[in-house]
Structure 1
């Protein structure tokens, strides 16, 4: 499938979507059931299809709208673009910690409506739709947070509706800034969950509103009978949530969340469906720090391993930087997952990650990821069959076992999208996925309109309640680990219900083996606010970049701090998003698709730029360079000119590989910060 056509500088009149709804107003008067009954036989609706599948969906995250934002105000700490004089642009103060003006949110959704709405199948919206508490003169209050979320929900309804109602399913979740107090969500049912049930009534299937009120989790069959998107409540996994303890004790909401997820994924597996997971706070975890409570990370990694035949991918926001994670199933510790074995679920040696990552702390975090990736085994074996490996005197099968087989099923992929709030440049991501064989399938809109004609059909299946399914045995991969390493078996925990693994003979799922519903790639869009705001003289940004002292205190005033706008009143250029990069034609990333194996290869290559990387030659001698087929135009021709076996050639190849790794690392950093940093700045991080 060709990538979505690049849309650059689309000039348009920006309607004030949010102004249509005063704070506290209902998001929409006409609301439609999201999970309507459909023909269980073939997934077709009982009404004529008005839409078709496009094989694309939108991921949008971290809008952080701020109704107090004022253009041409100061970006300094405790002012937060609310007053004073400074470089804050009409569409936002890019590279600063100021939140989004309402004009940016309006313009973004208007651009999406004009350019993307009719080309996508569903929307993944991963939370944080309220401002930060950055100004002591204007403290946040619960009623304001909820009112803003209601306004934003109404704007989403307007963006993705026609005159009859929603035509594109929207799957929301809340972030740590969508609740009050900040970061803290107590176990449900509670007033917060009840209020969001009302706010998101247009988006949550009627049959799941009870479970949402109970725990803040639900899913939507975005392609009826084929694909469901699960909205995870990551507040119950979040290490900074003082209202929860762990995910192993039955009294904890995190435990109940995983039980619900286990039951629902079993139900989808029995129906032959696939699932996509999404949430706000990602399962970021390095050698020293983490975002999730450790037992929650352990269970999540185990659950993804056991449902690897069902889950197509995992999408998150929160961190504002564009990057990915690889969870390693070799780090699963069954003693931590068993409450009876660990007493309190086990303590983590990792500290909590910073609340807001500065440029420097983000770079430190990304370096930690790189250092971890430096320890990955060489993925060369994944590119060979066993016979070829033997011919090269390589232990092909043994090498593949290091990855969990030829599809790298030892690992799991998490994709983290950058934000709309312009800590860098505002960003949107459009994924493309394989719809082979689904071209004539019923769409969510078909099923929604069918529900208006017939509220129930005979034969509809209902998911079983939590606890109804049988307890499974110890997972298959854990059994294999016990064969290799004898150890004391954890005490039996009657509350630990382990998911069943895929049945024998089941092929790898869409996250591993390219097939229908596999992610093919994505196009990353950004709005260059420096150009659009049209306020600053070219080259006038601070020579020293960001304020390092302020950033160290937790606030970044941005690259334009202290600058004076060139116009007395804002005179912006036409607003629009343009393509930053696309995985379909990014020659440095070289991703054929978004399967785990390709990201393992990319992570390994980035890891080779680390000082902690292993030798570029493996234990058996020369390593086959899987990247030599696509030489850079500016690469040294002498690298390819030496005779086989020459020592000089080996040194040249190692040097060339290191250059490739460094180039990939800088490319990764460039996109992590949404192209707001020069090459020189990136090299200095």
Structure 2
């Protein structure tokens, strides 16, 4: 048991989950400020608490009750009474690895797990796609009829921690079937002149997806790059972006080549399995780890917060691989976004996007040059930017009787100077991060990126890692802080 780390609105920079107060405050703010102003909502999953407390293990019943609770919050917040029945804007949820029991593990459908989630999410799943969801947990929704669809992927079939399935290579595997379905959806959207957002929980990266799934996802992303407006994922809770490259997903290319692909693993920060990370020896063996565990007098696993800095350096090195911007270069890249979460590990955050609504009429969309696609050039449906809102929980907890409001953390136009969110704009931003300053390490822009990556808690986490103020009540051991969990899950 720990003393002095919690607060009425959540325990910032800890591994604690969101309290109900914070969830209520979030939906109250959304209803007050955005109820009738949004066109659609992308919701990337993980609605149940993490299984961190040995004394209170999660149960399937609790897990599904929490999923239903959040679903009802969305329906209530964004419903409008029209005629005699309530209607709501398109809401597109995806299955998170902690939305299922046991976490990470889901087999081929149809199965009881998908049936339960289907029943909870039934209001969100379009007519004609209920069987698709029951079979695999994925679907798509036309958020602007005839013009724009959002594809909700079941990324757990691609996730290498899901031991119930085996990638996207063998016929009959659920990942293989889902990739074929995704290809069909994208092919149909292309023929109809429609644009697409891809979304899910676990992001496509070389150490989170199986090799076959990662490569297939990357190839589809580049093949249909002109109609895909964005790739939005959650899972790690950290705010950053990275690139899938043509070299990284071509046949025969090694996926562990850091010069070509971002081979980082920022798996869920709350996995029960932990590892020791020694910054001075990346080749440490399992035997070495066991030896260190046995030698630790408290039986605790030791980790170091400076691995966060190592993660950031590796991200910067990834940006350094980007060549000067040309039309040919753009065709070889897709941009993947990790979006922050309503969770106190970092300050809770959400994003409101703007997009181009000026439609060109009397024009054959399929005849438009690939270079004029809205993913590459500011035109109809191009995402223009977003405002990231957050709650500073340290400040909010000083006023327990005042419901906190989300405030602006940053915007892409004011802080990153982006005119739009096209692929060329993100490539230019990454190159600017590297080129500002002699090394890129000391540039003001890179400092912003690092601060935003931890959603405002960078200094707080560093201070906590250097402080012993969190004391165990019933023993003299040093209490685990967020840096222990964060560092242990960022293996390289």
User: Same fold, TM exceeding 0.5?
Assistant: yes
Partners in 2 of 1:206 and 1:173 — Cα distance?
17
Aligned to 1:567: none
Tell me if 1:171 matches 2:92.
Answer: yes
Partners in 1 of 2:19 and 2:238 — Cα distance?
20
**Equivalent of 2:211, from 277, 290, 294?**
294
Partners in 1 of 2:390 and 2:264 — Cα distance?
33
Partners in 1 of 2:238 and 2:106 — Cα distance?
25
TM-score normalised to the size of structure 2? 0.80
Partners in 1 of 2:148 and 2:217 — Cα distance?
20
Report which stretch shifted further, 526-535 or 576-585.
Answer: 526-535
* Contact kept in structure 1, 2:149 and 2:196, CA below 8 Å: yes
Aligned to 1:592: 419
SS where residue 129 of structure 2 aligns? helix
Tell me if 1:97 matches 2:15.
Answer: yes
Aligned to 1:203: 124
Partners in 2 of 1:308 and 1:89 — Cα distance?
45
**Per-residue deviation, 1:136:** 1.1
> Based on CA coordinates, which of the two structures has the bigger radius of gyration?
1
Partners in 1 of 2:221 and 2:5 — Cα distance?
46
Tell me if 1:582 matches 2:446.
Answer: no
Aligned to 1:416: 338
Aligned to 1:149: 67
Partners in 2 of 1:657 and 1:679 — Cα distance?
28
* Contact kept in structure 1, 2:205 and 2:264, CA below 8 Å: no
- Would you say how many aligned residue pairs link Structure 1 and Structure 2? 419
* CA pair 155-315 structure 1, distance change in 2 beyond 3 A: same
Aligned to 1:566: none
SS where residue 305 of structure 1 aligns? helix
**Per-residue deviation, 1:362:** 4.0
Aligned to 1:333: 250
**Equivalent of 2:240, from 323, 327, 333?**
323
Gaps of 5+ in 2: 255-260, 271-303, 467-482, 484-492
SS where residue 200 of structure 1 aligns? helix
Partners in 2 of 1:261 and 1:135 — Cα distance?
37
Aligned to 2:173: 252
- Aligned Cα RMSD in Å? 2.7
Q: Which runs of 4+ in 1 moved over 3 A?
A: 348-355, 357-363, 502-508, 656-661, 678-682
* Contact kept in structure 1, 2:305 and 2:462, CA below 8 Å: no
Partners in 1 of 2:447 and 2:462 — Cα distance?
10
Partners in 1 of 2:461 and 2:45 — Cα distance?
33
* CA offset digits 1:270-324 (Å, max 9, x no partner): 1111111101011134xxxx21111111001100111112111110111111100
TM-score normalised to the size of structure 1? 0.58
Aligned to 1:266: 187
Aligned to 2:286: none
Tell me if 1:307 matches 2:218.
Answer: no
Partners in 2 of 1:190 and 1:353 — Cα distance?
29
* CA offset digits 1:492-516 (Å, max 9, x no partner): xxxxxxxxxx999544432212111
**Per-residue deviation, 1:244:** 1.3
Aligned to 1:9: none
* Contact kept in structure 2, 1:235 and 1:241, CA below 8 Å: yes
Aligned to 2:328: 404
Aligned to 2:479: none
Gaps of 5+ in 1: 1-73, 77-84, 338-347, 383-399, 440-501, 536-570, 609-626, 628-655
Aligned to 1:243: 164
Partners in 2 of 1:430 and 1:504 — Cα distance?
29
**Equivalent of 1:676, from 437, 441, 457?**
457
* CA offset digits 1:21-45 (Å, max 9, x no partner): xxxxxxxxxxxxxxxxxxxxxxxxx
* CA pair 210-143 structure 1, distance change in 2 beyond 3 A: same
SS where residue 195 of structure 1 aligns? helix
* CA offset digits 1:465-508 (Å, max 9, x no partner): xxxxxxxxxxxxxxxxxxxxxxxxxxxxxxxxxxxxx9995444
* CA pair 191-423 structure 1, distance change in 2 beyond 3 A: same
* Contact kept in structure 2, 1:283 and 1:297, CA below 8 Å: yes
**Per-residue deviation, 1:269:** 1.3
**Per-residue deviation, 1:349:** 13
* CA pair 432-104 structure 1, distance change in 2 beyond 3 A: same
Partners in 1 of 2:322 and 2:367 — Cα distance?
28
* CA pair 217-308 structure 1, distance change in 2 beyond 3 A: same
